[in-house]
Each structure stands twice: as structure tokens, then as C-alpha cells.
Copies of this chain bind each other. A is one copy, B any other.
Amino acid sequence: MQSSDGAMYAPQPMPQPVVNPGEFVIGATHLDHGHIFGMCQGLVGAGATLKWVYDPDPSRVAAFRQAFPGVRVARSEEEVLDDPEVKLVAGAAVTNERAPLGLRVIEAGKDYFSDKAPLTTLDQLEAVREATARTGLKYAVYYSERIHVEAAVLAGQLVEQGAIGKVLQFIGLGPHRLNAPSRPDWFFRKELYGGILCDIGSHNFEQMLYYTGSSDATITASTIANYAHPEWPELDDFGDAHIVTDNGATGYCRVDWFTPDGLNTWGDGRTFLLGTDGYIELRKYVNIATNDGPDHVFLVDGNGEHHIRAHGQVGYPFFGELILDCLHRTENAMTQAHALKAAELSVVAQRRAVDLTRR
């Protein structure tokens, strides 16, 4: 396929549902973060049957039922975990409760799909590694800024096709709008949300490993700060980190809560992939000052400067792959080692970070 501006690339076919109704039954428990909607939409779009929802807060359950009208309301988490028809449980609990929930799901004999960050401490990481190794069950993670963004999906396909040669470096900018009044109390308590590099940083560590094709990395520098929000002293409003991967690439990310009100979306997320034969820039959610929607892929290679619109072009193959992985006990969507290595880097970067403002 040739884009209108001459870039040669071959997007994969748009993903289709991989199972028929009733063939892959899931439940959703703990709706503390709105990501649960995207997680369930992705799975349902790939064919999953959403049978149950549980949350202690009735207003959250009501909002969830509006999005998924056929779902049954469970009276307890146990009612979901005890249903032998349920193959996978999706959860978006408070961040430091995600691992305990996941361990309960796994002990109930089901696969688990966690919102990111999937855990907040190295003790949790060790317990999750032990449980997944012992049972063979999955602790999958919704690293949405790659798997649920078409620009990022297309970038992965371009890299795989060799569009920029060997990937030498990843840079990710992950600014987010704070919108403090919409945030729950736990969002501002570090033990609960895990710190900014653990929380929104985790998207970037996952992408560093993915795009550079590496399986491990060393955190070479990381910082956090609370520059402008003294009313929430435990909020990190800034963080950044530099890594060196086990295959000799580098990665850098900056995350922050400083999206200004004038931006027409929640954040100007960017990705830069430097390769031996070209580079890719993603303007994921906005191409600033153009009013031209999300999912912009810029590819500069030996032939020219190409602007490719990924919106509506590639979809989100992760979800169908995850369903099939659960059914066939494969690891095509994402390996367990990869999902947890990204979590490990996130926690280690956070723990070792130099605090620039609260020393």
C-alpha cells in the first residue's frame, strides 16, 4: 500500500471479533479508574461477552451499565470470581489495590486484566511473578497509550516492517491534564497511586521496551517534583526518566500534569522513534494548532517526509490477541515477562528518583 504522499507501508487488516457470543465470558470488578470502560470496550469489540460488573459504589455501577446495558450486577466480588463461566476478570481498582485484586483473581483460577500501573511495589511484583509462574494464569495490563492508540499501533507495524531500520531510541512525552476537581482522593496520595513515574510513567516504560525490542533495561536517571501544587504535597506533578536497554538502545520519557487549558484535548502525547534508516514521530491525541484530530504518524525515511493518518486504519489488535492467548495459552498480545518488566522499571524509576522540590 502506498499512502497519498508516497510512503510505502502495509497496514495489517483491521481486527475483527475473534470469538462468537458466549465463547469468552468476562467480568469487570472495581471501577475506580475510568480506564475500565476502554478495557471492556476493547474486549467486547473483540468478541468477549461481558457478563458481570461489581463495584461497591452504586453510582459507578450505574454509569457502567449505561455503557454496557446487558451486564449483570454482582452483589460481591466473590460472585464474579466464583462463576466458572468467567474466563477473565478486568479491574481498574485504586492503583495499590490492583495487585491484591489480581492475586485473588488468579487464585480463583482466572486470567486477570489490570489497568495500568499494574502494581506499585516490588513486593507486589514478586508476588505477581510467583503467582503467574505457579499457575500459568495471566496478569495482563492495559498499557492504553500504546495498545489503544491507533497511531502507536501503526508505528509498531511500521517498525516491524523495517520502515526506519533498527530502532536506536525511544522518547515519550506524556503530559496530562490535572483537572483536579474530577479526581478522587486516592489520586493525590502517593502510597495509593504509586507516584507519577509508576502511574503514567508506566505507559512509557512499556513503550521503551516494545519499540526498541528489548527485554530489560537499566534506569540511568530519574526525577520527580511537585513544582506547582503545594495543596497536594504527595502529588508528583512532574517526572522524567532515562534508561539504557539490554540491547544497547536508550529511552527517555517525561510525564507531567501541566497540560494547559488551551489545549483541545487532555494531553499532547508524543513519541519519537529514532532508527538507523529514518524516524517516526507520533502526535497521538492532537496535532497542535491544526484542528485535525488524533492519530498522526510522521515517518521520515530515505524517500521523503510522510504524514500518515492512522485514525480508523489499524484498530486495536491487542484485545483479540489477548482473548486468543487466554483460550490457547499463548502470548501473542504481550508476554507476561514484558508486562511485568515495564512495571518493574516504573517502580524502580519512581523509588530511585531524585525529588527536585521536596528534598
Which residues of A pack against B, CB within 8 Å?
A: 5, 166, 168-169, 171, 173, 175, 220-221, 223, 225, 227-228, 238, 240, 242, 244, 248-250, 252, 254, 256, 258, 260-264, 268, 272, 274-279, 281, 286, 288-289, 298, 300-307, 354, 356-357
Q: A289 contacts B302, CB within 8 Å? A: no
- Known interface pairs A307-B289, A354-B244. Does A301 touch B250 (Cβ–Cβ under 8 Å)? no
Q: A252 contacts B254, CB within 8 Å? A: yes
| Contact of A252 (CB < 8 Å), options: B252, B260, B276, B303 | B252
Q: A260 contacts B171, CB within 8 Å? A: no
A250: B residues at CB distance < 8 A: 223, 240, 254, 356
A227: B residues at CB distance < 8 A: 166, 168, 248, 276
Q: B240 contacts A254, CB within 8 Å? A: no
The oligomer's copy count stands at: 2
Q: A288 contacts B274, CB within 8 Å? A: no
Nearest chain B residue, comparing its CB with the CB of A241: B242
How many Å lie between the Cα of A248 and that of B356 in the bound state? 6
Q: B228 contacts A262, CB within 8 Å? A: no
- Known interface pairs A221-B221, A221-B242, A354-B244. Does A302 touch B254 (Cβ–Cβ under 8 Å)? no
Q: B264 contacts A305, CB within 8 Å? A: yes
Nearest chain B residue, comparing its CB with the CB of A356: B248
Q: A302 contacts B356, CB within 8 Å? A: no
Q: B260 contacts A277, CB within 8 Å? A: yes
Nearest chain B residue, comparing its CB with the CB of A164: B260
| Contact of A288 (CB < 8 Å), options: B166, B221, B286, B305 | B305
A263: B residues at CB distance < 8 A: 300, 305
